Structure 1
Amino acid sequence: MEPLTTPNPEIFSKALGLTYKDSNSNGKIRIFVEAGADFEAEDDVDQVLHGRFTCPRLPSPIRISAVYAKCTRGERLVLWDKMRDITQVTEGMPCIIGGGDFNTILSTRDRAGSVTNRQEEMIDFAEAIEDCRLPDPIFDGSDYTWAKNGLLERLDIVLVSEMSTRLFDAIRVTNLPRVASDHRPILVRCRMTNNHESGRAFQFQNMWVRHEGFAELVQEDWTVPTEAEGLLNLKIKLSRIKKTFKRWNKEVFENIHANLRNCEENIALAQTEFEENPSPRNRMEINKQIAEYILLLKMEEDFWRQKVALRWLEEEEKNTRFYQSWVK
């Protein structure tokens, strides 16, 4: 966020529904984040605020540099060198630079309403981007982000590193309409990579609730704080407990049918040992194995009942579509 005055961050926090985190040394750049996210400044100068952004929905932190460039070419040379330093330090990490006012254009296509020669400034900017290896992604919306007295320019640009393109399936930049400023806000949307294990959707197994440790597992996982609020808090907890269930199912249940076969073998072994030595301890072991076997049978029954019900729903849906098409 680039303020023209010295605003009260609390007012903007309430208006945006975001938490104020930090500003650069001269107060020209301010950072706000959603609940649960964080921004930790790592480099702070007049024209750029660079830091580490973390969010529960991201698998790893990303580096973000917010820019508010000076108005003269000589002053911007300092910014280009700082960008080179930042990208050298963050090499191999996801990094996004921009979203602010670079106060210069990248090509003649980024300007309308004036024929002023800005060739040297464009070369400086282009060389800095090339040195930093930060491509300018395709954007939608207006071709120009700034307008004043008939002059139109694209001064607000977002640059992304190659690692950012690997972290996300897609990065989309949109130049939004101007409302209360001569600059257009820039919206950057990043779509996360779909990493579902073996491509299967998560499915809750009814047999899990029969396990003696199920309630404790849910309680322990659900009570761990997320540092978020509202629907984001709920979303994070649901995503987290889904991973917990998958891991727990693999470690505890494995294959329910194989567990039954193993339990049958254990019962037969316990009965043989009791016949050889009819002690109370061996009798207790038989009863223990039989109790576990009955529990596994009920779990298997839950498994098949749920599987048959889902299959019936799929068939019912197919039949419904068939009859609807036949009626049409």
Structure 2
Amino acid sequence: MKPLTSPNPDKFSKALGMSYKGSNINGKIWIFVEEEADFVVEDNSEQMFHGRFTCPRIPNPIMLSAVYAKCTRGERLALWEKMRDITQVLEEMPWFIGGDFNTILSTRDRTGSDTNRQAEMVDFAEAIEDCRLMDPGIDGSEYTWAKNGLMERLDRVLVSETSSQLFDAIRVTNLPHIALDQGPILVRCRMPNNHEGGRAFRFQNMWVRHEGFAGVVQDDWMAPTEAPRLLNLKIKLARIKRKFKRWNKEVFENIHANLKTCEENIAVAQSEFEGNPSARNRAEVNKQIAEYILLLKMEEDFWG
């Protein structure tokens, strides 16, 4: 979290439903974690807040670094050196580093300006290379910051090579800008599936978020089987399992494509609202954002 005010742990802990674990030395980076997770600070500087993250769902600790880089090339040199220093003491532990690096990595990361930023890009690229970090790629918007026609990808998440060995997949999504010039980033990781044999039926939490879920269950469960007691139950369970599989394929198979479509709809709605800030256009923006948040929750359930 990158705040613009002094830390207020109680207020934001309640709003986020998470525990506050501290801020960096200038108060510009805050860390919150979910219940039963922990973050132990190992390095604290003006541009980075670094520590060891543990979570019951992850078998091993991972190192996390939250970044809020300075605005000038000279000031960012200290950040690049800090990254190199951390690399020396990682001992092959998985490492995620992300946040606002306040610079781009290539000319593709910017549109709306032709200012030469070659030297800054080289500094950043050399730090990434020296630290043997990888960019897992992104979904969503190509840019994370926009103002007055200028758009840039200033925010990103990088991972160490060992991180890709711990997780089956690492997915980074640039979320839409909502009332801010900078958009948040969502990172999700999938643990390896160590189950042997055939693929077992798995109930997806995202199903219950769909407005048609209750109807699917009721219609199928209430249909008679003409069988006695336990056999009746067994037939109903097998039947609803088949129903869920078909329903999942029909309704949720394209959830990732639906997210992309929703992002495009938000961009259109926001553009129309900026041109005509009417109550109707504002309501349309809010509607599209609400639908996007619901889809994100469904996708998060799928990844969980």
TM-score category of the 2 structures, normalised to the smaller one: 0.5 to 0.7
Q: Give the alignment's Cα RMSD to 1 decimal.
A: 2.6
Per the alignment, residue 154 of structure 1 pairs with 153
Per the alignment, residue 67 of structure 1 pairs with 67
Q: Where does 1:1-328 land on structure 2 (aligned, <5 Å)?
A: 1-98=1-98, 100-196=99-195, 198-199=196-197
Bigger CA radius of gyration: 1
Question: Partners in 1 of 2:163 and 2:121 — Cα distance?
Answer: 25
**Aligned-partner SS, 2:134:** coil
Question: Partners in 2 of 1:133 and 1:139 — Cα distance?
Answer: 19
Deviations 1:249-282 (A, max 9, x none): xxxxxxxxxxxxxxxxxxxxxxxxxxxxxxxxxx
Q: Which runs of 5+ in 1 are unaligned?
A: 203-308, 322-328
8 A contact 2:64–2:95 mirrored in 1: yes
Question: Partners in 1 of 2:29 and 2:155 — Cα distance?
Answer: 14
Question: Partners in 2 of 1:187 and 1:167 — Cα distance?
Answer: 19
Structure 1 residue 22 displacement after superposition: 1.1
8 A contact 2:43–2:51 mirrored in 1: yes
Runs of 4 or more consecutive aligned structure 1 residues displaced over 2 Å after TM superposition: 198-202
**Identical pairs, percent:** 72
Structure 1 residue 39 displacement after superposition: 0.2
Structure 1 residue 8 displacement after superposition: 1.6
Structure 1 residue 195 displacement after superposition: 2.2
Question: Partners in 1 of 2:66 and 2:18 — Cα distance?
Answer: 17
The amino acid across from 1:161 in the alignment is: S
Question: Partners in 2 of 1:4 and 1:122 — Cα distance?
Answer: 27
**Aligned-partner SS, 1:83:** helix
Count of aligned positions: 212
Question: Partners in 2 of 1:37 and 1:7 — Cα distance?
Answer: 20
**Aligned-partner SS, 1:117:** coil
Question: Partners in 1 of 2:10 and 2:117 — Cα distance?
Answer: 40
**Aligned-partner SS, 2:158:** strand
The amino acid across from 2:173 in the alignment is: T
The amino acid across from 1:83 in the alignment is: M
Deviations 1:11-30 (A, max 9, x none): 21111111111111110100
The amino acid across from 1:134 in the alignment is: L
8 A contact 2:80–2:124 mirrored in 1: yes
Per the alignment, residue 261 of structure 1 pairs with none
**Aligned-partner SS, 1:79:** helix
Q: Provide closer, same or farther for how the CA distance between residues 112 and 59 of structure 1 changes in structure 2, counting only shifts above 3 A.
A: same
Structure 1 residue 199 displacement after superposition: 4.2
Question: Partners in 1 of 2:39 and 2:63 — Cα distance?
Answer: 9
Question: Partners in 2 of 1:180 and 1:79 — Cα distance?
Answer: 29
TM-score (norm 1): 0.60
TM-score (norm 2): 0.65
Question: Partners in 2 of 1:44 and 1:19 — Cα distance?
Answer: 19
Deviations 1:158-201 (A, max 9, x none): 000111111111000000011243211000000011123x4479
Q: Which runs of 5+ in 2 are unaligned?
A: 201-229, 243-304
Per the alignment, residue 255 of structure 1 pairs with none
Question: Partners in 2 of 1:165 and 1:180 — Cα distance?
Answer: 34
More helix by share: 1
